[in-house]
Amino acid sequence: MDQKRVKNKSVDGITKKEKRSEENFFSDLDKKSHSFSTFWLVIILILITIFVVLISLAISLKRKNIDTNLALKSDSINLVSFSQRLSSVKNDGQAVLIFNGLEFAKAAGADDSEFPLKNASFEIDKDSIYLKGRIKDSIIPWTVKIKIIALVKDQKFSLLVAPDTMENMVIYGQNKDKIESVFNKNINQILTDKGFIADEVLTSKDSIELHVIKEVK
């Protein structure tokens, strides 16, 4: 009887000891696992921070280069208003006004204070026109590229933000209306005031042609 009690106690003792040892083992394992997770979390946060800083520096550098290039180009081309270009047409009948991207941005009023883009210019090709610039008061820090449709309608030039295109998703609502309103004011209003009508619009590599007809008084 006594031997059985000792054996049971012994067995119970060993069992409790093993149980405590097992609990200590898992407790240490949890601590190590937690420390390991914390270490890698810190490493990941550091890497994310470095990545964000590098991206910010790259965007800032690119922005400075764009501004510098625009300034250099502005010094070497004829940046005048659409009104001044029309004033150069002396004879009645048809005339052709040719603009490059920066010249057309100036003529169309893209440098107006109410225009929603900064440092705007046009990228023109044979079958496409894109308006480029940075959106004012926007969280988007990079230059956006907006597809523009140019055509003649009712003897006026129509410059519209192309609907339903992936490029133009960043321009909508009030900004879209402002872009089209500024173009209309600086081109068609001047066209009418000076006695011209729109005849045709053509594009080629790096240039746009506005064909106008001066009405005979």
Tell me: the pLDDT tens digits for 178-196?
Answer: 889 999 999 999 999 999 9
**How many helices (DSSP H) and strands (DSSP E) are in the chain?**
5, 7
The torsion angles phi and psi of 122, rounded to 5 degrees, stand at: -105, 140
Residue 186: closest CA among 110, 127, 121, 134: 110
Tell me: the pLDDT tens digits for 64-80?
Answer: 666 555 554 545 567 88
Tell me: the pLDDT tens digits for 9-43?
Answer: 444 444 555 555 555 555 655 555 666 677 788 88
Q: Where are the beta strands (DSSP E) in the chain?
A: 93-99, 117-125, 128-135, 144-153, 156-161, 196-204, 207-214
Residue 97: closest CA among 217, 214, 211: 211
pLDDT band at 217 (very low <50, low <70, confident <90, very high): low
The ranges assigned to domains in the chain are: 1-76, 80-214
- Residue 9 confidence (pLDDT): 46
Which fold is adopted by the domain 80-214? Bactericidal permeability-increasing protein; domain 1 (3.15.10)
